[in-house]
Chains A and B, each alone.
Chain A
Amino acid sequence: MDAGYLLAQLVNGLAIGSVYALIGVGYSMVYTILYLINFAHGDVIMFGTMAALALMGFGVPAWAALAAGCLVGAGLGMVVERVAYRPVRNAPRTVPMISALGAGLVVSSVAQGIWGPDVMSFPQLIPRGSVELAGVALPVQPLAILAVALALVAIGSAVLELTRWGRATRCVCQDMMAAQLMGIPVNRLVPAIYAVGGLIGVAGCSLFAMYFNAVWVQMGQLATTKAWAAAMLGGVGNFYGAFAGGLLLGVAEALAVAAFGSLFKDGASLAIIVAVLLLRPNGLFGTPVVARS
């Protein structure tokens, strides 16, 4: 295995990892607040990406269609929260989990009814090809994906750290009941967090579709698995943790492919979920989650 191949795999891993990071961030925030494994997350963002593709098919300019797809993901995330999660928020934890599974199945079934089960190609909005930097040819697309992901996370963290609603979000993540007692309208903020998670997730999913030139209805379940692994690896309860976890997961997968072949790609993320749960249940950067009554 030569150095060039390894470098290519590393860049590839960073690109895929950025996508996982974007998908994982929204998932992680929801988990942090509601202790809910959001099985519908991947299906919601798949739906948004499909909607973007459909709009492009109707002749809507690509970037406008992508923006609209992100909004579809945001809206659908809010609908799922309202219909499937809020009514069972105080129920034992397995109940919302089953409800989430059901919501995901409904979303993916509807998508399959509309768009069918086949793999479709996705327009290449970022050119393939490469730039030369200090004598090394670097592919444009993975680097652009990494740049988009970093930019979105920078915006997200600025909102979280610097704005009034961002701080309110951090309060809700750390102690929902105390946040409520501070006058933070939790029932308006939680749907907004679902919306932001859906929005960023659709952006990530669209980049994924572009990178592999493929989009299909069942990719939602794959996305949920990746988001779960990214959040687990980075540690839930931590915006940056999920992001770092996503990047690491992408690189780990790429290295697994380089070492053992591409069959092991998805196995790597599942193995990481198992390993993290066994060895470091709070993730690499996570804080212990204390059960509240």
Chain B
Amino acid sequence: MTALLEIEGLEAGYGRRTVLHRLSVRLHAGEAIALIGHNGTGKSTLLRCISGQIVPSAGSIRLDGASVAGLAPDRIVRMGIVQVPAGRRVFPRLSVRENLEAGAFTRRDRADVAREIAELMQRFPVLGTKQRLHAGILSGGEQQLLAIARGLMARPRVLMVDEPSLGLSPIMVDQVFDVVNALVRDGMALVLAEQNVRKALQVTHRAYVLAQGRVSAEGASGSLLADAHVRESYLGLGQAAAFGALVDAAEAS
């Protein structure tokens, strides 16, 4: 099976500083992958390369076999790769409805756009009731829902969601991950870059662990979730669990 999105030997950076080193990632149709890793390991840089905001210095990015590396960001959106940016970045002085319409900028099928906006407002009732308000006054969680809905309005073939839980309250984090989970179950090909590793591994099929701009581990999300090294480095469970065992042993004796 050939991949829908195939990234081979990607190198990229800012100025002379190389951030990504010969990175390879693939995403199949109907699959959700997580990119996990600490701050500054290259997750955002990778997404920026894919969405065309920075041009990679080497390697290839292919969507269904067609190269997208180095194309202008608007061309890449038209080809079907859509990024929901980190920090939500909704248009603050556009209404909620206008934000959704902005997401459909590349489309000309007005009737379908209007129908899909209505559907999204049913799916996320808060967007419906607040559709005339400026997006800037929504809560962080509501803005994140809007940002995802806005991304969906472009009818993506690949949806990339960058740090959706950033800065949200725990309740809103759960809600946002419910939405991501629903997209995955609907068969959306999805790339999720996320620092909340446990949640990210729970909703995706496969995951890539990034460290210093390289893929340091990859595999099924479920098995990474059980992997001792991942537990220790990214879930903060290793030492705590060992400590817990120590306490248990001390108490038992």
**C-alpha gap A168/B94 in the complex (Å):** 11
- Whether B116 sits at the interface, judged by CB under 8 Å, is no
Chain B residues whose CB sits within 8 angstroms of the CB of A180 once the complex forms:
53, 73-74
Quick one: closest A residue to B107, CB to CB? A183
* A178 lies within 8 A of chain B by Cβ: yes
Mostly, the A contact residues are helix
Known contacts A171-B91, A177-B85, A177-B89; A182/B72 CB under 8 A: no
Most chain A Cβ neighbours within 10 Å, of B51, B74, B82, B84: B74
Q: Interface size on B (CB < 8 Å)?
A: 25
Question: In the complex, A9→B90 CA distance in Å?
Answer: 45
**Residues 93 to 113 of chain B near chain A (Cβ within 8 Å):** 93-94, 98, 101-103, 105-106
| Residues of chain A from 142 to 184 with CB closer than 8 A to chain B in the complex | 164, 167-168, 170-171, 174-175, 177-184
Give B167-217 interface residues, CB cut-off 8 Å to A.
none
- Residue in contact with A175 in the complex, picked from B78, B89, B101, B103, CB distance below 8 Å: B89
Q: Cβ of B53 and Cβ of A182 under 8 Å apart?
A: no
Chain A residues within an 8 Å CB radius of B90: 178
Determine the chain A residues whose CB is within 8 A of the CB of B72 once the complex forms.
Answer: 185, 187
Q: Is B145 positioned at the interface, with any CB of A under 8 Å from its CB? A: no
Residue of B73, B90, B98, B103 ringed by the most chain A CB atoms within 10 A: B73
B89 CB contacts on chain A under 8 angstroms: 175, 177-178, 181
B74 engages A170 (CB within 8 Å): no
B78 near A181: Cβ-Cβ < 8 Å: no
Residues of A within 8 A of B93 (CB): 170, 174, 287
A16–B77 CA distance with the chains assembled, in angstroms: 45
Q: When the two chains form their complex, are residues A183 and B94 in contact, meaning their CB atoms are under 8 A apart?
A: no
Q: Is the CB of A167 within 8 A of B98?
A: yes
Nearest A residue to B101 by beta-carbon distance?
A167
Tell me, yes or no, whether B165 is within 8 Å of chain A by CB: no
Closest to B147 in A: A178
Judge if B154 is at the interface, Cβ distance under 8 Å.
yes
B157 adjacent to chain A (CB < 8 Å): no
Report how far A167 CA is from B100 CA in the complex, Å: 12
Complex formed: what's the CA distance from A182 to B83 in Å?
8
Apart from A174-B93, A181-B82, 20 more pairs, CB < 8 Å:
A167-B102, A171-B91, A171-B102, A171-B105, A174-B91, A174-B92, A174-B94, A177-B85, A178-B85, A178-B90, A179-B102, A180-B53, A181-B85, A182-B105, A183-B77, A183-B106, A184-B74, A186-B73, A186-B74, A287-B92
Residue positions of A touching B, CB distance < 8 A = 164, 167-168, 170-171, 174-175, 177-187, 287
**20 chain-A/chain-B pairs, Cβ below 8 angstroms:** A167-B98, A167-B102, A170-B91, A170-B93, A174-B92, A178-B89, A179-B91, A181-B77, A181-B82, A182-B102, A182-B103, A182-B105, A182-B150, A183-B74, A183-B77, A184-B74, A184-B102, A185-B74, A187-B72, A287-B93
